[in-house]
Amino acid sequence: MSILSDIIEHNQAFVEAKAYEQFKTTKFPDKKMVILTCMDTRLTELLPKAMNLRNGDAKIIKNAGAIVSHPFGSIMRSIIVAVYELNAKEVFVVGHYECGMTGLNAKDVLNKARSRGVTSELIDTLQNAGINLDGFLTGFDYVHDGVVNSVKLIRNHPLLPKDLPVHGLIIHPETGRLDIISNGYEAIG
Ligand SMILES: [Zn+2]
């Protein structure tokens, strides 16, 4: 059995049993919030439970490290859409301790790519074309820095309103404990 066939088999039973009914909601977040967090598997169910979120409560955007790496990239676009099109009134950046993006370095990633058949020549070609692979494949030294940087980029974004609270938090991936790094209400004072 492949992962795909397992999923499809489960899915047919899920739909048939109408197991979806308990999840019915709308596209608008009931708690009027958007969360940017990490794709870490430990957070899949833990984060919503630890933040008291049910299906339909929040827009949740995920990537590796909860990092906003570009002011006009897909993460910022998602936040802008959540605010203007989906009525999100507050933004929460939620990093986590023991994040895999801590200390990630481009050299290690590129070595693994080489071992899977990506040639050094190709990597050189990309770099010579001006693609900054070091920056692209680097995380942060401390999760605190990652959260602070993402919060700063969102707060200062020219297309977002100045009165939008943007909070920075770090969640513990085992206990779900949340530490406030930056209080968005205080920042808009
Ligand atoms: Zn992470």
- 1-58, pLDDT tens digit by residue? 799 999 999 999 999 999 999 999 999 999 999 999 999 999 999 999 999 999 999 9
The rounded distance, in Å, linking the Cα atoms of 17 and 21 is 9
**Measured in angstroms, how far is the CA atom of residue 125 from the centroid of ligand 1?**
30
Residue 70 annotated in ligand binding: no
Residue 157 annotated in ligand binding: no
**Measured in angstroms, how far is the CA atom of residue 52 from the centroid of ligand 1?**
20
**Structural domain includes residue 11:** no
Residue 179 annotated in ligand binding: no
The rounded distance, in Å, linking the Cα atoms of 85 and 77 is 11
**Structural domain includes residue 93:** yes
**Structural domain includes residue 159:** yes
**Structural domain includes residue 57:** yes
Residue 6 annotated in ligand binding: no
In total, how many domains does the chain have?
Answer: 1
**Structural domain includes residue 116:** no
**Structural domain includes residue 143:** yes
CB 90 within 8 A of CB 167: yes
**Structural domain includes residue 120:** no
Q: pLDDT for 125-150, tens place per residue?
A: 999 999 999 999 999 999 999 999 99
Residue 165 maps to which CATH number?
A: 3.40.1050.10
**Measured in angstroms, how far is the CA atom of residue 3 from the centroid of ligand 1?**
24
The predicted structure's pLDDT at residue 1: 72
Residue range(s) defining the domain that contains residue 169: 27-104+139-188
